[in-house]
A and B are shown apart, each in its own frame.
Chain A
């Protein structure tokens, strides 16, 4: 079956530290992966994406790593700030399955001041 799962439901980090949020997926046919951030009372917000022909992509303070061998995706946030506190979801998509994203269960990131 298709599933995208996250290893930890809650991650607590100190402000200024780096955060790593992990995600495992089972569908090797997925060719596009996205990380979303959802703050309380809001819809998911796009953070960064990566295609299956890449293994790393960097944005502003964020890096996504993709390991297709073990079907693993991670989001690294550098110098975590209180404003980063939210629930983070990974999602997968397939070019052949238009419009449909499969989301993981989400990891809550708590940033301690």
Chain B
């Protein structure tokens, strides 16, 4: 069975631009969470979606947003990019939003802001 698919794998953007990242969860998984990974801050929770609803949100500015579609695929958007947004963005899917349900991570999208 296919794993979590994130596209694109790599992205280079300039400051001020906006970007949209995509995540296709494992078939049958309805919960999708997003994380930002940087060398300095480690893995930080961005938000979590279940049944097209955002159920939880981390401490990130409003420039970071997301959504989930009826087929459980999710996108996250970052507007007005800053250099500090350069990071690996990881998506994790699970059958339900309970934290004790195993989450499977994708390979991530490496975003570089120049």
- Contact between A93 and B42, CB atoms less than 8 A apart: no
Count of B interface residues, CB-CB < 8 Å: 27
- Contact between B4 and A99, CB atoms less than 8 A apart: no
A43–B98 CA distance with the chains assembled, in angstroms: 20
If the complex has contacts A99-B33, A99-B55, A102-B45, are A45 and B105 also in contact, measured as CB distance less than 8 A?
yes
* B31 at the binding interface (Cβ < 8 Å): yes
Q: Which of B55, B97, B100, B105 has the most CB of A within 10 A?
A: B100
Pairs A–B under 8 Å by Cβ, sample size 8: A41-B107, A43-B92, A98-B55, A98-B56, A101-B33, A103-B35, A103-B43, A105-B42
- Contact between A46 and B99, CB atoms less than 8 A apart: no
B interface residues (Cβ-Cβ under 8 A, vs A): 4, 31, 33, 35, 42-45, 48, 50, 55-56, 58, 90, 92, 94, 97-100, 102-108
- Contact between A100 and B100, CB atoms less than 8 A apart: no
A46–B43 CA distance with the chains assembled, in angstroms: 15
A interface residues (Cβ-Cβ under 8 A, vs B): 32, 36, 41-46, 49, 51, 89, 91, 93-95, 97-106
Residues of A within 8 A of B98 (CB): 95, 98
Residues of A within 8 A of B100 (CB): 32, 49, 51, 93, 95
- Contact between A49 and B108, CB atoms less than 8 A apart: no
A-B pairs, 10 with minimum CB distance: A93-B99, A99-B48, A43-B105, A103-B43, A98-B97, A99-B97, A32-B100, A105-B42, A44-B105, A100-B45
Residues of B within 8 A of A32 (CB): 99-100
- Contact between B103 and A46, CB atoms less than 8 A apart: yes
Residues of B within 8 A of A105 (CB): 42
A89–B92 CA distance with the chains assembled, in angstroms: 15
If the complex has contacts A43-B107, A46-B102, A46-B103, are A101 and B45 also in contact, measured as CB distance less than 8 A?
yes
